[in-house]
Amino acid sequence: MKLIIDQSLENKELEITIKCNLIDPKLEKLISQIRLYFFSIVGRKDGESFPIQLEDVYYFESIDDKTFTYCEKTVYECDLKLYELENQLGDTSFIRISKSCILNTLKLKSVKALLNGKMEASLLNGEKQIINRHYVKAIKRKLNI
């Protein structure tokens, strides 16, 4: 691998070009992280709006027709619906794990199988989420299990 950085005041915007022979899982993960770095959402809490980088998001959850963004220790309300987030985050580390939850696999500590075909996801912040059996196959693919 060769890394070339061209720093110049003449460059108007950041541009990343990846030249490769074949995209392997490690490169897919890198591309996903780059996409996360440049994508942010607006979260609301206590009447204030905050820009939230996707790399800080653990998961999105929909409760009573409202979408919430869960970070390590803080929860924000988000204006986007889960299906909108799912469409925008399709090629990133985020994956739908239930009808009401989209999980950031980069914040995943471990997964374990449960008796009823579901899985339990343990996150880096100590929280646990249930992966509905309808989504187990997709998450196994995403994690290369």
Task: For 62-85, write each residue's pLDDT tens digit.
Answer: 999 999 999 999 999 999 999 999
Give the pLDDT confidence score for residue 122 in this predicted structure.
97
> Closest Cα partner for 20 from 37, 39, 3, 5?
3
**Tokens 């009573």, residue?**
64
* CB under 8 A, 24+ apart: contacts of 46-50: 50/76
Superfamily of chain region 25-143:
LytTr DNA-binding domain (2.40.50.1020)
Coil, helix or strand for 87? helix
> Rounded to whole angstroms, how far apart are CA atoms 30 and 41?
21
Enclosing H/E stretch for 38: helix 25-38
Q: 116: buried, middle or exposed (CB in 10 Å: 19+, 13-18, 0-12)?
A: exposed
Q: What is the pTM of this model?
A: 0.77
Task: For 125-144, write each residue's pLDDT tens digit.
Answer: 999 999 999 999 988 888 88
Give the pLDDT confidence score for residue 118 in this predicted structure.
94
Task: For 85-115, write each residue's pLDDT tens digit.
Answer: 998 887 788 999 999 999 999 999 999 999 8
Q: Where are the domains of the chain?
A: 25-143
